[in-house]
Amino acid sequence: MLQAIATPGSLAEAHAALSRLPDARLLAGGTALVPVLNYGTDDFTSLVSLRHVGLTGVNVKDGVVTIGAATTLAELEDERALAFLRAALDAIASPTIRNMATVGGNLFVKQPYGDFAACLIALGASAMVSNGTTARVEAIETVVSSGLKQGEIVTHVSFPLPEAGSFKFAKAGRKALNAAAIVTVAAVVETAAGRVTRVSIGLGGVAKSAVRAASVEKALSGNSFDRVSVERAAKEATRDIDPSDDAYASAWYRARVAPVHIRRALIGE
Ligand SMILES: Cc1cc2nc3c(=O)[nH]c(=O)nc-3n(C[C@H](O)[C@H](O)[C@H](O)COP(=O)(O)OP(=O)(O)OC[C@H]3O[C@@H](n4cnc5c(N)ncnc54)[C@H](O)[C@@H]3O)c2cc1C
């Protein structure tokens, strides 16, 4: 049962609170954590809020985007440099949830949530992780698949701005708002003379965490960017995914449609 909530005013104070409260969970927007409390399935007795720690805001400098982990998804919608992410943001939850849900929190929500994490994988993003003494930089896919040690905090995520028009996104869900993913596909595809010069694909809804579709990327790199080539490469996704059954779709269905949604995201047909 919850017994303490710390509301630190700086990163140093947040780490001090985590040391003082060893079973504490970090509280960001609370959209995933508060339902756990409401259902009484929590296994922690204290929370450390990130609300006043100063980890908000978007900075774009020299083609690199840096986002504070406590920045809400709604705040990203207002950022002109991130206009390419608008369709992806619109596909996450609903405006009400996006007003609270944070970028950092989206890295740690259980699948089939975590659409923004899939976008960050596609963008080649890294996370800055602080343990109170030192900070390390980790690839987003490592953070989402391995999690953090107790006492660690993601402070920022950063990624290079993709070439104009190179970011692709598609999400299959059961309804428009508040729909968890059946399959989410985020990708950056750059081409020259009809051939793929760079491809990076993040998938959601099809594994324990958002994953990189490394086999698809390998099959597409250097090849023609056309339907035949994309369709062939997308079939390789079965090597990258490990879907589960849930109320939204069966594992069998997810595996079956993942290549279709990859093709649709990449070439729009
Ligand atoms: C009705 C509904 C619909 C939803 N639909 C979608 C959807 O369509 N797509 C989607 O992707 N998500 C969806 N979500 C999930 C929502 O986007 C995530 O819950 C949200 O991004 C989590 O962020 P938060 O700030 O609320 O995290 P919290 O609930 O505060 O925390 C979630 C977890 O992340 C940890 N955490 C948070 N910040 C940090 C940090 N900086 N460093 C380390 N650990 C941290 C917390 O300790 C906790 O374990 C939905 C949620 C709801 C309630």
The CATH class of the 4-49 domain is alpha beta
- Cα of 169 vs centre of ligand 1, distance in Å, is 20
Residue 27 in contact with ligand 1 by CB distance below 6 A:
yes
pLDDT attached to residue 42: 79
* Nearest atom (ligand 1) to Cα of 72: 25
Task: State pLDDT tens for residues 117-143.
Answer: 999 999 999 999 999 999 999 999 999
Query: What DSSP element (H or E) covers 68?
Result: strand 64-68
Considering the four listed CATH numbers 1.25.40.10, 3.40.50.410, 3.30.230.10, 3.30.465.10, the one that applies to the domain covering 58-160 is 3.30.465.10
User: Is the per-residue pLDDT at 179 higher than 90?
Assistant: no
Mean pLDDT within 29-41? 92
pLDDT attached to residue 41: 82
* Mean of the per-residue pLDDT values of the chain: 96
**Delimiting residues of CATH 3.30.465.10 domain(s) in the chain:** 58-160
Residue 130 amino acid letter? S
pLDDT attached to residue 269: 78
- Cβ atoms 202, 181 nearer than 8 A: no
Q: How confident is the model at residue 32 (pLDDT cuts 50, 70, 90)?
A: very high
- Cα of 221 vs centre of ligand 1, distance in Å, is 33
Calpha distance 18→24 (Å, rounded): 6
pLDDT attached to residue 177: 84
Q: Which CATH number applies to 167-267?
A: 3.30.390.50
